[in-house]
Amino acid sequence: MLSAEMLASAIRLAVPVIITAVGAIYSERSGVINIGLEGMMIAGCFTGAAVAFYAGPYAGILAAVAAGAFFALIHAVASVHFRVDQIVSGVAINILAYGVVRFSSLSIFKMATTTPHVDCLPKVTIPGLAAVPWLEPLVSKVSPLIFLAFLLIPFTAWVMNRTVFGLRLRSVGEHPLAAETLGVNVYLMKYCGVLISGALAGLSGAYLSIEHTQMYVEGMTQGLGFIALAAMIFGNWMPLGAMWAGLLFGFAQALSLRVVTEAVPYQFIKMVPYILTIVVLAGFVRRSRAPAAVGVPYERGEAA
Amino acid sequence: MLRTNRILALVMVIVFTASLFALSGCQKEEAVKNKIGLVFDIGGRGDLSFNDSAYAGLERAMADFDIEATYLEPGEGGENREELLRTLAEEGYELIFAVGFLFTDAVISAAADFPESKFALIDGYVPDLTADSNIVCLGFAEHEGSFLVGAAAALKSETGKIGFVGGMNIPLIQKFEAGYRAGAAYVNPDIEVVVNYIGSTGEAFKNPQAGRELALAQCDQGCDVIYHASGASGIGVIAACAERETWVIGVDSDQYLTASDEEKPFVLTSMLKRVDVSVYETIKAFVEGNYEGGYKTFDLSVDGVGYSVSNEAAIADIQDQLEEIKAEIVDGTVVVPTNYEELDAFLAELGG
């Protein structure tokens, strides 16, 4: 049951969740709930595939990142600047992104729900390891974005815990008033957090459309943006935790796709990550700890 | 204030009067043309499959007959499909196509309120229709086409193991599976068929990630021909088979034509479901005044289903055998099962 092929499949399915969940950490740690991740992924999916069709996969991925960041900017302006309820703004982003993408798809390709085929990035094979039989499926012909996703984990941990930027970002999410008293630009930090989360959601969208399917199909995000949010919570707002949560999700998916038994219907296996998230949130395993000021709009100058 | 209101009222009156003239002008012009409407299934135009095939039929009819045609796409979840049917009926469309079984309830309710419009429901089933009904159900013998590609798969397989990736697990898709498995067993009783379904909701037809992973899993289990009946999710199945260099069989429309250059060599054939034929024939009958309500089935004998031969290099060596089997189905020597019970009986008979 546990084969290298299965693990490789789990990793491929986990990567979009991991990238988006890591992005969500930046946003939430700065105190902004980003429920619009799904919409930002959709924007990344389509923009990535559309630009890749005309200008190649590298340009496609950059454009996807930009598209995700653009929708994040709308979210940031609404929820940070105008202090709109963050949930409402996020939901609006999801609906807006869907509509904009369908409109663009119709006007560019005359097709509502798909783009033409696009090329993916050159696949990477690690020469030495690929010769080991058991490792072969894991290290040969792998999308480079998968390596990037796993590099994001230590990088984000380093940013959060070892840099001035990370400290300020977290302080804004925990206690914006105190942060501003100490001279931290609260709005700037929140903008950074939301924009990074949007950019990463866009990147994960590009992974789906350019790397995984080599085409955009409407609805291909399948709610992964929300699952990423759950993975981030399950991972206790930590990059390493988000990675394990993402892998758990990918593993459950791979399991449900590969292990079909009469005894356990695949629907039940698919439920596993969601049930675990609820269990964690309900505090059965350990207390999940959200940033203290997450979801609370902050008005600049409250300190004065 | 009063003054501006009066002016406003006057402007309104002029606008409405003008639009009345404009409208009556339009109607005079269109009186000769039949108005044909079409509402796509979720997936919409550009799914390289079912919807595109329906559109192809509409396009062909537009070229051949003097008709005015329009098409609409439902929103993402497809919840507004009934609204779209009603919109077309209200605007005086005389023949309205509803592409897909998901429209069944919407068509029943819209057809009751708009007796003047005719509704053609593709793939759906509405009970108790007569020739006078304003609903016609256009069905396909997908099991017959699937039987042929199942035979093709078994003839091409070297490992003796072939795969089937279904979209939503419902009787309609199980009909594809039953035909495929029967066809494979017909030419090779020892063939092993690995069957997977993507899910149990409409979302299963647009999940190419899952399609790809399922196909890769089947390749890992040793399948060397995979047939998909999963709508846009099949894009992932085709991509996976090209990656593993195994045969793949498309569905609904000829997916060899829409595959990328790297994928083309591996698309063995496609089970053609000639939605375009059904749309075209229905419009033709309507324009010629021969519209009839009730049920129409497009089967192998009228080329309503079939298999594609555009990948000549791949299919040439087995085409003669497939034609023989096709003739046996058309003349009734072989009766293709449509569900699991009939399939079990069919397989038992083959074994015995």
Cβ of B239 under 8 Å from any chain A Cβ? yes
B306 falls within a domain: no
**Together in a domain, B327 and B229:** yes
Mean pLDDT of the region B119-124? 92
**Together in a domain, B153 and B262:** yes
- Cβ of A112 within 8 Å of Cβ of B45? The answer is yes
Above pLDDT 70, what percent of chain B?
89
User: At A93, which CATH number?
Assistant: 1.10.3470
A90 falls within a domain: yes
B26 falls within a domain: no
**Together in a domain, B153 and B87:** no
Question: What gap in Å lies between CA A278 and CA A198, rounded to an integer?
Answer: 25
* This prediction's pTM: 0.81
A302 falls within a domain: no
**Together in a domain, B161 and B108:** no
Burial class (CB in 10 A: 0-12, 13-18, 19+), A274: middle
- Cβ of A212 within 8 Å of Cβ of B212? The answer is yes
pLDDT of residue A189: 94
- Between B27 and A292, the more confident residue is A292
**Together in a domain, B149 and B286:** no
**Together in a domain, B103 and B170:** no
Q: Are A31 and A187 in contact (CB under 8 A)?
A: no
The partner residue sitting opposite B44, judged by closest CB among A3, A113, A220, is: A113
Nearest CA in chain B to A119: B260
Identify which of B193, B188, B190 has the alpha carbon closest to the alpha carbon of residue B155: B188
Angle at A274 (CA atoms; ends A270, A279), nearest 5 degrees: 135
- Between A268 and B292, the more confident residue is B292
pLDDT exceeds 50 at position B30: no
Angle at B124 (CA atoms; ends B289, A112), nearest 5 degrees: 90
A153 falls within a domain: yes
pLDDT of residue B4: 61
A265 falls within a domain: yes
Mapped onto helix, strand or coil, the DSSP state of residue B249 is: strand
Cβ of B236 under 8 Å from any chain A Cβ? yes
Identify which of B98, B110, B114, B26 has the alpha carbon closest to the alpha carbon of residue B68: B26
Cβ of A252 under 8 Å from any chain B Cβ? no
Range of the domain at B187: 142-272+311-351
B251 falls within a domain: yes
Give me the DSSP letters along A105-150.
HHHHHS-SSB----PPPPPB--HHHHTSGGGHHHHSSB-HHHHHHH
pLDDT exceeds 60 at position A1: no
pLDDT digits (tens, 9 = 90+) for A185-244: 999 999 999 999 999 999 999 999 999 888 898 888 988 999 999 889 888 899 999 999
Categorize the per-residue pLDDT at A263 as very low, low, confident or very high, splitting at 50, 70 and 90: low
E strands of A151-230, at which residues? Answer: none
Sequence-distant (≥ 6) Cβ neighbours of residue B345 within 8 angstroms: B337
User: At B162, which CATH number?
Assistant: 3.40.50.2300
**Angle between helical axes of B234-244 and B208-220 (0-180°, round to 10):** 40
**Together in a domain, B344 and B226:** yes
Range from A94-108, B48-62, B186-200 carrying the lowest mean pLDDT: B48-62
pLDDT exceeds 70 at position B264: yes
Question: What gap in Å lies between CA B75 and CA A252, rounded to an integer?
Answer: 30
Above pLDDT 70, what percent of chain A?
92
A139 falls within a domain: no
A177 falls within a domain: yes
Amino acid at B257: L
B337 falls within a domain: yes
**Together in a domain, B111 and B164:** no
Question: What gap in Å lies between CA B142 and CA B300, rounded to an integer?
Answer: 9
A129 falls within a domain: no
Residue with tokens 């990037």: A148
The DSSP H or E segment spanning A103 is helix A86-109
B210 falls within a domain: yes
Overall number of domains in chain B:
2
Cβ of A111 under 8 Å from any chain B Cβ? yes
Overall number of domains in chain A:
1
pLDDT digits (tens, 9 = 90+) for B82-105: 999 999 999 999 999 999 888 999
pLDDT exceeds 50 at position B29: no
**Together in a domain, B336 and B192:** yes
Tell how far CA B292 is from the center of its chain.
21
CA distance to B142, B345, B346, B347, B349, per residue, from B352 (Å): 26, 10, 10, 9, 5
**Together in a domain, B103 and B146:** no
Min Cα–Cα distance to chain B from A181, Å: 47
Min Cα–Cα distance to chain B from A144, Å: 16
Cβ of B209 under 8 Å from any chain A Cβ? yes
Question: What gap in Å lies between CA A57 and CA A48, rounded to an integer?
Answer: 8
Identify which of A75, A275, A20 has the alpha carbon closest to the alpha carbon of residue A191: A75
Residues paired with residue A280 on neighbouring β-strands, in sequence order: none
Q: Which two tokens stand for residue B331?
A: 């003349």
Range from A65-74, A130-139, B292-301 carrying the lowest mean pLDDT: A130-139
B243 interaction partners in chain A (CB closer than 8 Å): 141
Please provide the distance, in angstroms rounded to a whole number, between the alpha carbons at the two ends of chain A: 62
Mean pLDDT of the region B253-265? 89
B59 falls within a domain: yes
Nearest CA in chain A to B259: A117
B7 falls within a domain: no
pLDDT of residue B23: 47
pLDDT of residue A137: 79
- Cβ of B213 within 8 Å of Cβ of A254? The answer is yes
B19 falls within a domain: no
pLDDT of residue B26: 45
Range of the domain at A155: 4-121+144-287
pLDDT exceeds 70 at position B1: no
A300 falls within a domain: no
